Amino acid sequence: MSRPVGYVLAGGRSSRFGTDKARAVVGGLPLVARVALRIAPRVDGVTVVADRADKFADLGLRTIADPIPGLGPIGGLLGALEDAPRGPVFVVSCDFVAFEPRWIDRLRAAWRSGDSAVAFRTPRGWEPTFALWSPALVPAVREAIDRGERALRRLLDRCAGRPVPPPRDWDRAVQVNTRRALSAWLDRTGAGPGAFL
C-alpha cells in the first residue's frame, strides 16, 4: 500500500493537564510539533485536527477544526476521515510522547484492501489513537456519535477492525494526560522535571 495520510489529534480540552497539552514543550518542541515531525517521514503529509482551524499555523502545521467540537478523539477522527483525500489515514494523538515511527510500517504491512481499520491490540485491548482508519468509515463514525458512543475501541469492534499484535517494544509507548505523568516520563528518560514548559 502507499503511504497513509497523517493526522495528529490535538482537539482535547486538556482539562487534566491544566494547560494546552499540545503546546507543552519537550526537547525544545511543542508536543504536537514533535509528534508531527516524528511521523512525517512515514506518512503522505501531516495535518493536525484541533478545536479550531489554523490553531497551530504559528508552528507551520496545517490545522483543521473538529467538525463537531467537544467530542474528544472520535470527533478528531471524524475530522481526519472527512478531510482525507484518500485512505488509509494514520491517526495519532498529540500526547504520544514516546513511540517508534517504524511501528507505522507494521500497521501498513497488515493493511488489506477493504479494511475498515488496522490497530494494535494488546492484552488490555485496542490502541485506537495509533492506528490506520479508512475514510469509508465516515457514516459509521457519525452513527456512533448520534448514538452517543464516543469510545474508539467500541468503534473498532463494531467495524471489525483488523487486530495486529503489538511490536515487542510496545512497552516503550507512552501517552500522557497530566503534567505529573509527563514529568514522571521525563524523569525516567533522564530529561528531568524542568524539561518542559
Over 90: is that where the pLDDT of 122 sits?
yes
pLDDT computed for residue 17 by the predictor: 47
pLDDT computed for residue 178 by the predictor: 67
pLDDT computed for residue 16 by the predictor: 52
Question: Structural domain boundaries of the chain?
Answer: 5-191
pLDDT computed for residue 185 by the predictor: 66
pLDDT in tens, 75-84: 999 999 999 9
Q: pTM value?
A: 0.90
pLDDT computed for residue 197 by the predictor: 34
Average the pLDDT over 106-114 and give the result.
96
Query: What is the C-alpha separation between 99 and 78, in angstroms, rounded?
Result: 23
Query: Mind giving me the DSSP string for 80-129?
Result: HHHH-SSS-EEEEETTEEE--TTHHHHHHHH--TT-SEEEEEETTEEEEE
- Looking at domain 5-191, its CATH architecture is Alpha-Beta Complex (3.90)
Least-confidence region, from 7-16, 53-62, 99-108, 135-144: 7-16
pLDDT in tens, 127-181: 999 999 999 999 999 999 999 999 999 999 999 999 999 999 998 887 777 667 6
Residue 56 contacts residue 32 (beta carbons within 8 Å):
yes
Would you call the peptide bond into 88 cis, given omega within 30 degrees of 0 as the criterion?
yes
Over 70: is that where the pLDDT of 194 sits?
no
